[in-house]
Amino acid sequence: MGTRDDNRRAMEQRLYDAALTLFCELGYKQTTLSDIAAEAGTSTRTLYNYFPTKESILRKFSRENIVELKSFTSSLPADMPLKEKVLETMVQDYKLMFGLFDVSYILHTARDESGVFNRFELENVMIVESLYCTIFKHAQLKHGVEPNDMVALCASVVLGLYRNCTDLYRFRKKGVLDEKDLRQFYLSHLDVVWDSLEKSLLSQPTGLSKLFSADRHLFGSF
């Protein structure tokens, strides 16, 4: 039984790796399921058993990255300074998204595929933002502040900063990832807003909670 499961996992990984390689080389739209099967050295019938559509491959990528990022944020030491937790989450998110494959190119070439790009991006934004909400909620509890809507606001600010910095960094930096340089790049931008953000997050609320209540549906998990 174990051997069969191992073989199935190995085949799924082979097909998955072949697909991402072709998405990067040819573009998402130009790559066909037949191309993926041929690259993996198997039949389209076998491919359909694992990935019936190209979108299902992107969903696997998204799902695995989210699981890894959740595991990473959960493993951060409880006594780690809040700013450092946020910074390390940014760096890890970047490494998962762009460490092995040019995901931005894959998603760019998927833009014309009946909303694939928009669905993929929205799902990822909401899940990652919820991870920052969890980090900020725990920080408030640690400082004796009842979790409030400032959690969602700060998470939105941090994610917006991350996305903008990531676009800038990828535009300016080419070649092999320099993790130390990446971390410093994020930190230099985070420093600009951090004092105000942390003060707002950890201060006792003064009637703020109702102001952002319309955003609760986005952050129900925190």
Query: Domain boundaries in the chain?
Result: 1-52, 55-214
pLDDT category of residue 46 using cuts at 50, 70 and 90: very high
Average pLDDT over residues 73-89: 96
Contact present, 194 and 83 (Cβ < 8 Å): yes
Q: Which of 172, 136, 139, 159 is nearest to 90 (CA)?
A: 159
pLDDT value for 20:
87
Q: Report which listed range, 12-21, 118-127, 192-201, 202-211, is most confident.
A: 192-201
Length, in residues, of the chain: 222
Q: Regarding the domain delimited by 55-214, which CATH topology (the fold level of the hierarchy) does it fall under?
A: Tetracycline Repressor; domain 2 (1.10.357)
pLDDT value for 27:
83
pLDDT at 183 over 50: yes
Q: Which of 161, 150, 65, 156 is nearest to 106 (CA)?
A: 65
* CATH number of the domain located at residue range(s) 1-52 in this protein: 1.10.10.60
Average pLDDT over residues 50-65: 86
Q: Same CATH fold, 55-214 and 1-52?
A: no
Q: Is 147 left (phi over 0), alpha (psi -120 to 50) or beta?
A: beta
Average pLDDT over residues 179-202: 96
